[in-house]
């Protein structure tokens, strides 16, 4: 810990002199890039993680994340420079830290209630060795009020120190887009809300000096957390609206993609697209953080809840389209070989957390289908009980239906004529991610179905 009391003014200078020490709790998809970015800026960073393999890999300069552009090189460089090291043992890292940043996951339980156990555990660990004058920053996504009402009191209980008086408590929610995190880390403004303006100022100074991004001050942690959830729920609700249009326009014989692309010509229309559903560790979970706080406050957020229901229904709709496509070629799901192209929850990343494709695969198996999988991020790996093929052709060979589950770039250049020769006589083709042109697929002889397509 620097001997100089932290101030917004002296942070840039202390950083330059390598005098700022940071502990990052959780070296996951957000924590590791965050630790590496601060280390690049000159901070002495210790990453803490419960996974031995992550700690060992990091300390050899290796990066467990394979799909974040630029991260592997950065981790190698900052470990080699000595600015980043990883440990299983949090105590010393926190005791000497000027800033301790919580980047642990916040999933939801089966009951759709938030699971803050990792945040609670990190707060306890922090409380055990936190030093007076240091700052605790919460980047994990939580409901508004959780930082003030759970993290702060937990640290106070463990440490005997007082929030705002003896240590800083600040929310600076991560906003980076998985798959583009290193880019976002340099460009995306950060939202910072602390208990007390001076701690907010110190944290703003750290993020601006170290990451070179603009920081937006808000009045307190719960406002920062409300902003994070607002931007993610805005997306989830708009995707639900696009999915609702798709279900309706299919009935009306209108092509939803044609409609959305036409609407996108208007200045205030932000296009969102229908599909197989909403996956990932964020959107399918984040609504429930706000819903649980709302219910505590006696409020029922109807639209947010309905949006979740609509988006959660889309995998079953994809199964209906697969059935329809197979029926059109005189086949049924039972006994058919179905090739799932893409299992990741979004394009070009290696992540199947809460992917909507899993439900489709489970349903099809229950209905007696034989499943093949091809995903460029999972070649030859076991996913959802199926060994993924190492090539698209291998998955498509003898298939009765091809299904696009993820809009990976590779699927934007399909040779449909070639594929039509590999499949089992006339086959179905279901595009659940608006990747291919319906007419081109139909021209290649497939029975085409698409979410929201006519």
Positions marked catalytic: 228, 282
Nearer residue to ligand SAJ within complex by CB, 348 or 437: 348
Contacts of 434 (CB under 8 A, 6+ apart): 257, 273, 274, 275, 407, 450, 451, 452, 453
Q: Is residue 175 part of the contact set for ligand SAJ (CB under 6 A)?
A: yes
Residue from 279, 342, 445, 450 touching ligand SAJ (CB under 6 A): that is: 279
CB of 358 to ligand SAJ, least distance (A): 12
Residue from 346, 359, 389, 408 touching ligand SAJ (CB under 6 A): that is: 346
Nearer residue to ligand SAJ within complex by CB, 190 or 346: 346
Q: Is residue 283 part of the contact set for ligand SAJ (CB under 6 A)?
A: yes
Q: Is residue 287 part of the contact set for ligand SAJ (CB under 6 A)?
A: no
Nearer residue to ligand SAJ within complex by CB, 100 or 232: 232
What angle separates helix 221-252 from helix 283-296, to the nearest 10 degrees?
A: 120
Q: Which of residues 229-248 bind ligand SAJ (CB under 6 A)?
A: 231-232, 235, 239
CA distance 204 to 297: 31
Residue from 42, 144, 178, 428 touching ligand SAJ (CB under 6 A): that is: 178
CA nearest neighbour of 444 among 412, 410, 427, 420: 420
> In which residue are the tokens 């609504």 written?
287
What DSSP string describes 149-199?
IIIHHHHHHHH---BTTTBEEEE------TTSHHHHHHHS-EEEEESSHHH
Nearer residue to ligand SAJ within complex by CB, 178 or 450: 178
Pairing of strands 215-217, 337-341: unpaired
CB of 159 to ligand SAJ, least distance (A): 29
Nearer residue to ligand SAJ within complex by CB, 305 or 370: 305
CA of 128: how far to CAs of 86, 124, 204, 220, in Å?
A: 19, 6, 26, 25
Q: Is residue 317 part of the contact set for ligand SAJ (CB under 6 A)?
A: no
Q: Is residue 289 part of the contact set for ligand SAJ (CB under 6 A)?
A: no
Q: Is residue 313 part of the contact set for ligand SAJ (CB under 6 A)?
A: no
CB of 161 to ligand SAJ, least distance (A): 30
Q: 312 exposed, middle or buried (CB, 10 Å; 0-12, 13-18, 19+)?
A: middle
CA distance 148 to 171: 9
Give the length of the chain.
454
Q: Is residue 144 part of the contact set for ligand SAJ (CB under 6 A)?
A: no
- Candidates 20-28, 269-277, 363-371, 445-453 — which segment interacts with ligand SAJ by CB under 6 A? 269-277
Q: Is residue 176 part of the contact set for ligand SAJ (CB under 6 A)?
A: yes
- Candidates 69-77, 82-90, 122-130, 270-278 — which segment interacts with ligand SAJ by CB under 6 A? 270-278
> In which residue are the tokens 């199964």 written?
319
- Candidates 131-139, 274-282, 328-336, 385-393 — which segment interacts with ligand SAJ by CB under 6 A? 274-282
Q: Is residue 360 part of the contact set for ligand SAJ (CB under 6 A)?
A: no
CA nearest neighbour of 311 among 270, 355, 276: 276
Strand-pair partners of 363: none
Nearer residue to ligand SAJ within complex by CB, 142 or 206: 142
CA distance 452 to 122: 44
Residue from 172, 185, 195, 278 touching ligand SAJ (CB under 6 A): that is: 278
Binding residues for ligand SAJ, rule: CB under 6 A, are 141, 174-178, 231-232, 235, 239, 272-273, 275, 278-280, 282-283, 345-346
């Amino acid at each position: 810990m620097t001997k100089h009391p932290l101030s917004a003014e002296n942070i840039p200078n202390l950083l330059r002199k390598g005098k700022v020490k940071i502990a990052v709790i959780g070296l996951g998809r957000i924590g590791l890039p965050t630790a590496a970015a601060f280390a690049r800026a000159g901070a002495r960073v210790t990453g803490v993680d419960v996974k031995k393999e992550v700690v060992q890999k990091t300390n050899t300069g290796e990066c467990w994340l394979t799909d974040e552009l630029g991260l592997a090189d950065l981790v190698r460089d900052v470990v080699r420079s000595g600015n980043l090291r990883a440990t299983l043992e949090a105590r010393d890292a926190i005791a000497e830290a000027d800033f301790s940043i919580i980047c642990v996951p916040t999933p939801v339980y089966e009951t759709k209630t938030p699971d803050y156990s990792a945040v609670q555990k990190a707060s306890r660990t922090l409380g055990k060795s936190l030093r007076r004058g240091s700052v605790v920053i919460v980047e994990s996504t939580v409901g508004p009020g959780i930082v003030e009402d759970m993290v702060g009191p937990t640290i106070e209980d463990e440490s005997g120190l007082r929030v705002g008086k003896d240590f800083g408590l600040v929310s600076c929610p991560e906003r980076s887009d998985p798959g583009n995190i290193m880019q976002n880390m340099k460009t995306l403004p950060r939202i910072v809300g602390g208990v007390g303006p001076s701690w907010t100022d110190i944290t703003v100074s750290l993020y601006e000096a170290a990451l070179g991004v603009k920081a937006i001050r808000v009045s307190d942690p719960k406002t920062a957390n409300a902003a994070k959830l607002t931007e993610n729920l805005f997306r989830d609700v708009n995707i639900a609206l696009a999915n609702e249009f798709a279900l309706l326009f299919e009935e009306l014989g209108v092509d939803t993609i044609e409609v959305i692309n036409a609407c996108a010509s208007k200045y205030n229309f932000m296009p969102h697209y229908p599909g197989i559903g909403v996956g990932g560790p964020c959107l399918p979970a984040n609504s429930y953080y706000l819903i649980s706080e709302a219910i505590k406050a006696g409020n029922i957020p109807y639209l947010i809840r309905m949006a979740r229901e609509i988006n959660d229904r889309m995998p079953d709709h994809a199964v209906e389209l697969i059935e329809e496509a197979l029926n059109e070629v005189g086949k049924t799901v039972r006994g058919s070989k179905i090739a799932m192209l893409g299992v990741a929850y979004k394009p070009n990343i290696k992540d199947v957390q809460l992917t909507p494709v899993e439900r489709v695969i489970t349903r099809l198996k229950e209905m007696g289908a034989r499943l093949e999988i091809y995903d460029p991020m999972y070649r030859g790996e076991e996913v959802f009980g199926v060994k993924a093929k190492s090539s698209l052709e291998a998955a498509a060979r003898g298939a009765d239906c091809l299904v696009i589950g993820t809009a990976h770039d590779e699927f934007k250049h399909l040779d449909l004529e070639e594929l039509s020769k590999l499949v089992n006589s006339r086959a179905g083709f279901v595009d659940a991610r608006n990747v291919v042109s319906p007419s081109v697929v139909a021209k290649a002889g497939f029975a085409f179905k698409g979410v929201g397509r006519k």
